[in-house]
Structure 1
Amino acid sequence: MSAGRWDPEIYLRHASERLRPAIELLARVPLEDPEVVVDLGCGTGTSTSLLRERWPGAEVTGVDNSEAMIASARAEVPGVGWVLADIRDWSASVPVDVIYANASLHWVDRHDVALPRLLEQLADGGVLAVQMPLNHGEPSHLLITETAADARWQDLLAPLLRPSPVADPAWYHELLRPMVTSLDLWETVYHQELTGDRPVLDWVRGTALRPLLTALADEAPELVEEFEHELGARLASAYPPDAAGRTRFAFRRVFFVARR
């Protein structure tokens, strides 16, 4: 299936809020028939299945550092190779036509080192396609840091807090443009409409909050409920629902498609 026949609009009609950025990133990759495609930080393989769907003739490989994620992906997505590896250390065995990294490189520090290294893995004319959250300055993330600093769990959680390595788009332009033949760089703010009793808390549970909750569950499970209650109250104050019970949550993301 070539790029001309792969229609992202079909997927977007049925996509969840979390999948939409992955589809929009993939839609901007300009290659029709790549031979070697890598999903870097593939998780459970949801985005990998999109890559396989668009390019069924390609050799598609998913890379992740979680055994559980790789096991789930292998069970759900056939016809794909799976590699258990830390994306900070991963190296391709052959030049790659597409390296696709959707919501994974924000876990990697020193983008000034990591991104040039990934570009070196590309074949001539190959593409590095990246999407990363850029929400570290929003109330949701600031309140996570503030709550984690409470004395009740500070010793356990403080070591897990790290400055986001994700920079503004202008920084990526300055870094990448001299290294590539073309650079498609953009930023999108998704205004999500959330519902439920603790909608923002439920949203960040699966993203920024995950390492903290895992640490609490492993080391001090008796504090999980107390921590969630404290953070949930602060988030509810920062993100009040409207009269119909809907909570607007802005999520900023940076994208780029760099061609070698």
Structure 2
Amino acid sequence: MPHSWDPQRYLTYADERGRPFVDLLSRVAAAAPAVVVDLGCGPGNLTRLLVERWPRAVVSGLDSSPEMIAAARSTEPRAAFEVADLREWTPEPGSVDVLVSNATLQWVPGHLELLPTLLRAVRPGGWLAFQVPANFDQPSHTLRAELADLPPYDEHTRGIASPASHDAAVYLGALSVLGCDVDAWETTYLHVLTGDDPVFTWVSGTGARPTLEALPPDLRTDFERDFKQRLRAAYPTRAGRVVLPFRRVFVVAQAPA
């Protein structure tokens, strides 16, 4: 079931969402790449970091969301952006020096099988780097799924997009078999959030968005009320702050020379 993205909602916690991207890039040892591609570039605020790090490179970004690409084009005019599904992306083999994907592959069913295709786009000795959320067992996801399975919501939420990822060791194994030198690790961030229902604000811009868009307006209002109530109990406010633990998996692979 298709859904749209809201760049402004997504950017509500831009600093917190951007930190994993910075941590990922810190382990990419490309000195002077000529071609850099950002798969799932979103609103382009992080693609800008690629342009700034490698100013001589041709930097491009792809995203399946027209809304995100429109925002990206206004955010970073030095990069080229295109609306495209990464599953259908067909660059020349070995044409990319650095291929980056930040918090995108979790939305691609069976993305582990896509890794050989992505790696073929990378030149010998080039870099494939990605990070994916790995917190799908946490209340921010499980409470949404449990509520969506209840009537009257369930008849509208069957078959919605559901993100998923693997442990770091799985990605390491898959890329090592392909001859890559792989650095894979995980980090749990403790995001300290403020404001009214901050965890709902966070998830409504990402993981919960397909569920919310699948509901008609009247049921969406009821769902949001019930979901917020459950999230408040799972993530209590203390001294005006809410702590959101967020586990992420990182992979930096250098293609065989």
Q: TM-score, normalised by structure 1?
A: 0.89
Cα-to-partner distance string for 1:154-189 (whole Å, 9 max, x where unaligned): 111121053x43111111122111213311111000
Query: Matched residues in 1 for 2:70 and 2:139: separation?
Result: 35
Equivalent residue, structure 2, for 1:148: 148
Q: Does 1:132 align with 2:132?
A: yes
Amino acid in structure 2 at the alignment position of 1:249: L
Amino acid in structure 2 at the alignment position of 1:241: T
Query: Matched residues in 2 for 1:247 and 1:71: separation?
Result: 32
Query: Matched residues in 2 for 1:173 and 1:181: separation?
Result: 9
Equivalent residue, structure 1, for 2:66: 67
Q: Does 1:235 align with 2:231?
A: yes
Query: Matched residues in 1 for 2:68 and 2:202: separation?
Result: 19
Query: Matched residues in 1 for 2:40 and 2:196: separation?
Result: 31
Amino acid in structure 1 at the alignment position of 2:121: Q
Counterparts of residues 200-215 of structure 1 (less than 5 Å): 200-215=199-214
How far the C-alpha of 1:197 sits from its partner, in A, is 2.7
Equivalent residue, structure 2, for 1:6: none
Q: More displaced, 120-129 or 68-77?
A: 68-77
Query: Matched residues in 2 for 1:65 and 1:181: separation?
Result: 28
How far the C-alpha of 1:236 sits from its partner, in A, is 0.9
Runs of 4 or more consecutive aligned structure 1 residues displaced over 2 Å after TM superposition = none
How far the C-alpha of 1:80 sits from its partner, in A, is 1.2
Counterparts of residues 173-252 of structure 1 (less than 5 Å): 173-216=172-215, 220-242=216-238, 244-252=239-247
Query: Matched residues in 2 for 1:197 and 1:101: separation?
Result: 31
Q: TM-score, normalised by structure 2?
A: 0.90
Amino acid in structure 2 at the alignment position of 1:28: R
Equivalent residue, structure 2, for 1:160: 160
Contact 2:184 2:250 in 1 (8 A): yes
SS at match of 2:165: coil
How far the C-alpha of 1:125 sits from its partner, in A, is 0.7
Equivalent residue, structure 2, for 1:172: 171
Q: Does 1:82 align with 2:78?
A: no
Amino acid in structure 1 at the alignment position of 2:104: S
Amino acid in structure 1 at the alignment position of 2:117: R
Equivalent residue, structure 2, for 1:43: 42
Contact 1:99 1:122 in 2 (8 A): yes
Amino acid in structure 1 at the alignment position of 2:231: L
Query: Matched residues in 2 for 1:258 and 1:25: separation?
Result: 11
Equivalent residue, structure 2, for 1:92: 91
Q: Does 1:18 align with 2:14?
A: no
Contact 2:161 2:210 in 1 (8 A): no
| CA distance 1:147–1:180, change in 2 (3 Å) | same
Amino acid in structure 2 at the alignment position of 1:149: D
Query: Matched residues in 2 for 1:240 and 1:68: separation?
Result: 33
Amino acid in structure 1 at the alignment position of 2:221: E
SS at match of 1:136: coil
CA RMSD of the aligned region, Å? 1.4
Query: Matched residues in 2 for 1:22 and 1:118: separation?
Result: 19
- Greater relative contact order (Cα 8 A, min sep 6): structure 1 or 2? 2
Query: Matched residues in 1 for 2:35 and 2:59: separation?
Result: 6
Contact 2:172 2:183 in 1 (8 A): no
Amino acid in structure 2 at the alignment position of 1:92: P
Query: Matched residues in 2 for 1:191 and 1:26: separation?
Result: 20
Amino acid in structure 1 at the alignment position of 2:137: G
Query: Matched residues in 2 for 1:246 and 1:179: separation?
Result: 45
> Matched residue pairs, number?
241
Query: Matched residues in 2 for 1:172 and 1:246: separation?
Result: 35
Contact 1:111 1:165 in 2 (8 A): no
How far the C-alpha of 1:111 sits from its partner, in A, is 2.6
